[in-house]
Structure 1
Amino acid sequence: MARIHPTAIVDPHAELDASVEVGAYTLIGPHVRIGADTTVGPHCVIEGRTTIGRGNRIFQFCSLGAAPQDKKYAGEPTELVIGDGNTIREFCTFNVGTAQDAGVTRLGDDNWVMAYVHLAHDCQVGSHTILANNATLAGHVHVGDWAIVGGLTGVHQFCKIGAHVMVGFGSAVSQDVPPFMLVDGNPLAVRGFNAEGLRRRGFGPERIGVVKQMHRLLYRQALTLEQARERIAALATEVPAAADDVALMLDFLARATRGIAR
């Protein structure tokens, strides 16, 4: 049997691995599934159609799987899916998705989610991200792998934040942020590219050089977006070691819907 504190209330239809720990006064609903070696602290509410993977650590006072803060929501059987190895600190609120999107709010693997973070309906957050205290993601926001979102940052609905992006403290993100960029402020501005983050993740000089060139083409040479995309595409042939990085950038630019941060 899972190690459940006697004051916790776990619906008999919930599916908890035998190694799951549940703290005092926590409430877990009937459609919840929790994988092996996950710990849930005291005074949490986990409800809705919520699936939580293996090895997560969920701290006290979290609300996971509640109905979305969307007036169009009419009780559809939408979901919240949380992957493996995540740390979710105090007072986080993650809502299920809506029928107007994919119907799933998703958090990947190995994410470090600090206190008071809000993931609204239909957010898609990748893996290895850091969301600092009070980062607030509105509905339908996408965040790529390895991105860092600074504390007290607000992200407008439907915005996309690319992989390896660093968003500074207290920023207002209202446009899409291309991969690798370093941004902050209100209004948001691109300050450079995330060179230190890339070095920490094992990017060699060739790949970092190509990222630097992509930043220059997008922001320093007065090119139209289409001209910049053409020049960026040529980098894959010039530096084959960075072909995947170029492909990541081009795919992001093709899917950007709110214009890119400048």
Structure 2
Amino acid sequence: MSISPLARVASNSVVEPGVVLGAHVNIGPFCVISAGVVIGEGTTVGSHSVINGLTTIGRDNTIGQYASIGEVSQDLKYANEPTTLVIGDRNQIGNKATLHRGTIQGHATTVIGDDNHFLTGVHIGHDCVVGNGTLIKDNSGLAGHVILDDGAQVGYMCAIHQFCVLGSHSNVADQSGVVQDIPPFVMGGGNHARPTGIDVNTRAFLALDTRQQDFVHSLYSMLYQQSLSIDEVKIAVKASGMDFAIAAVFERFFAHSARGIIR
């Protein structure tokens, strides 16, 4: 066990041998922190939370009450292999959130980046890869193997099907069911989710110059108004890479997308 003298652990919480707690970590009452967990400097864990498995948590995160972090996945093939959950820095994880570690059938790890905001009751399934600056609202869940790219937003009470890819700065409306991939900057809603336009109000879109904004609109038109094939759009994106930096975001999306896009 390695617990910084500057860490604070409530007297009625259980911290097993082998746990590493950095400086200014604060573990609230009635928590259980299992062997193999590493928690970085400045992270706060709310009361009645359980963190177990080979879970590594970075700096300055806030974990709410009754959270379950690093739990065994719901994949029935899981057989207690030493898989992991890795969480970055400055994430806000809400009350009753559940974040599962990976499986050897997937990446063997679930990865959460930096500066994400997960509200109450959010579920992150096994082998998910979540980027930076995302938002998932109350009682929404990512099934296993989902990719949630930088800046993507998921509304209240949404379900994201396994192996889906939600591109950078995409936006899923409340109470939606997503069963196919959503390209960058695209808004989708309904069950099953359908495209509803470009999210022109996201900060990332507003930060683009006019030419790059027009490029995003042109790709949306290719996909949803001109009805070009995915392969044709991929060719257009690749050809535009030298002229538009934002094209790299779409190239990354298409490199991972395998379920087809929402229509």
TM-score (norm. length: structure 2): 0.94
Matched, 1:123 2:124: no
**Aligned CA distance change for structure 1 residues 233 and 18 (closer, same or farther; 3 Å):** closer
Query: What letter is aligned with 2:134?
Result: T
Seen in structure 2, the aligned counterparts of structure 1 residues 15 and 199 have a Cα distance that, compared at 3 Å, is closer
Alpha-carbon offset, residue 228 of structure 1: 2.4
Written as runs of structure 1 = structure 2, the 5 A alignment for 1:154-193 is 154-193=159-198
Q: Given the alignment, which residue of 74, 82, 95 partners 2:100?
A: 95
Answer yes or no: is the 8 Å Cα contact 1:66–1:95 preserved in 2: yes
1:200 shift after superposition: 6.5
Query: How far apart, CA to CA, are the structure 2 residues paired with 1:158 and 1:199?
Result: 25
- The one-letter amino acid paired with 2:240 is L
Structure 2: unaligned runs, 5 residues or longer = none
Q: Provide the C-alpha distance between the structure 2 equivalents of 1:217 and 1:167, rounded to a whole number of angstroms.
A: 21
Task: Please give the alpha-carbon distance, in whole angstroms, between the structure 2 residues aligned to 1:255 and 1:106.
Answer: 16
When the two structures are aligned, how many residues end up with a matched partner? 258
Aligned-pair CA distance for 1:13: 1.3
Letter paired with 1:112:
H
Residue 234 of structure 2 is aligned with which of 226, 229, 233?
Answer: 229
Is 1:211 the counterpart of 2:216? The answer is yes
Deviation at 1:189, TM superposition (A): 0.5
Asked if 1:3 is matched to 2:4, the reply is: no
- 1:9 and 1:107 map into 2 onto residues whose CA distance is 25
Q: Does 1:37 align with 2:38?
A: no
1:217–1:232 CA contact under 8 A, matched in 2 = no
Counterpart of 1:51 in structure 2 is: 56
Deviations 1:50-106 (A, max 9, x none): 000000011110000111011100000000111000000100000110010110011
Q: CA RMSD in A?
A: 1.3
Decide which moves more: 227-236 or 91-100: 227-236
Q: Does 1:253 align with 2:258?
A: no
Q: Which moved more, 1:217-226 or 1:74-83?
A: 217-226
> Tell me, what secondary structure is at the counterpart of 2:66?
coil
Q: Is the 8 A contact 2:136 2:156 kept in 1?
A: yes
- Would the aligned equivalents of 1:39 and 1:56 in 2 still touch at CA under 8 Å? yes
2:189 maps to amino acid? D
Structure 1-normalised TM-score?
A: 0.95
Shift of residue 222, structure 1, vs aligned partner: 2.4
CA–CA separation in structure 2 for the residues paired with 1:132 and 1:85: 17
Q: 1:207 and 1:65, CA in 2 relative to 1: closer, same or farther beyond 3 A?
A: same
Runs of 4+ in 1 over 6 A off after TM superposition: none
Aligned-pair CA distance for 1:246: 1.1
- Give the structure with the higher percent helix: 1
What CA distance in whole angstroms lies between the structure 2 residues aligned with 1:222 and 1:26? Answer: 53
Aligned to 1:137: 142
Q: Is the 8 A contact 2:165 2:256 kept in 1?
A: no
SS in 1 for 2:195: strand
- Residues 128-153 of structure 1, C-alpha deviations (whole Å, 9 max, x = no match): 00000011110000100000011111
Q: What SS does the corresponding residue of 1:196 show, helix, strand or coil?
A: coil
Identity %: 40
CA contact (8 A) 2:70 2:84 kept: yes
Alignment equivalent of 1:108, drawn from 91, 107, 113: 113
Task: Give the 3 Å change call, closer, same or farther, for CA 34–201 of structure 1 in structure 2.
Answer: farther
